[in-house]
Amino acid sequence: MAPGLVRFALRRTLRDVKYVEAVRPGRARGLVRDVYRQVERDFGMLAPPVALHSPAPEVLAAAWLMLRESLVAGGLASRADKEVVAAAVSAANSCPYCVEVHAMALGSLGDPAAAAAIEAGDAGAIPDRDTRALAAWARGEGLLPADVPAGTAAEFTGVAVAFHYLNRMVSVFLGPSPLPDAVPPSARAKARAVLGLLLKPGDAPPAGEALGLLPATPADGPGWAPPGGTLADAFSRARAAIEAAGERSVPPRVRDLVRRELKAWDGRPPGLSRAWAEPVLAELPAGERAAGRLALGTAKAAYQVDAADIAAVRPERTDDRGLVELVSWAALTAAVAAGERLWHRPRREDSPGRRG
């Protein structure tokens, strides 16, 4: 399967976005067009996890801003190490789509053993000690070595926050694999190999070039980001855009409930049953419980969200923009909380080696 055909097939996977209609590249205008051009220039393809946000242009720009400035743009950390974080976070969040994509990217960068271990759900089998420690930290199961420079640790945290966000969006709006359903089983191995080559990053683009997609904000950046730096600016702009979306599309009582639940949550999966949510949702007015169930489910167990949850909110949110904004707000609120948990964990003194 030729690379050009894979790119074409991936563009067609925009049709596989569930519940909302992603803007087709040929119909993109204004901010959506500007984001799409940057994504194809800097990421190499129009990635469906970004394009699914397109019914809400400011949220689309926010999602790309976080992804680009944490994972794609040049910085202190290597792209391979950042892909380890992306894949490990995705595995912890039960997001097979993102695990597959970023394991392929990691393998293309020369670490197929680590990629295979993460994709198999056995990050402890990663041969390299440094990489194994980084994956464990990203999964919330280990400590970051004490001698990782603060700036490098901030970049790792930025990638983790971006993927805690994207994993939730992908779990709701996409299927389990980046390969189109139309690719037959006999061709999937070859398609994966070609896709892995396409995902191999080239030279990292300069940091900060996506900042102009969203207005500056006077709000401080996250505590893990160096003040005044690109990461602080990027995540501050993105958060402001998604908070504004939440104010438009998420009832205030639902926002308060989700924030309260996340403050008391340790980040562990709540379990296979969905019964955990019902006692909490009972405090909401009946007319807000569908929105509350979708928001809380996205925040704490996005892999449990299903078509019935979406159908239940459609009477109040008949437009795609409102649905994307609701899910996006819940996803980012959970991602911000996850970033704070990672950043405030102590460092491990007996570090295996230095990164960055």
Catalytic machinery residues: 98
Residues 138-173 as b or e (16 or more Cβ within 10 Å = b): bbbebebbeebeeebbbbbbbbbbbbbbbbbbbbbb
Distance CA 116, CA 100 (A): 10
Partners of 145 in the β-ladder: 348
Partners of 348 in the β-ladder: 145
Torsion-angle region of residue 271: left (phi > 0), alpha (psi -120 to 50) or beta? left
Distance CA 136, CA 123 (A): 7
35: nearest Cα among 14, 20, 15, 56: 56
Supply 86's token pair: 């992306």
Supply 174's token pair: 């996409």
Supply 267's token pair: 């980040």
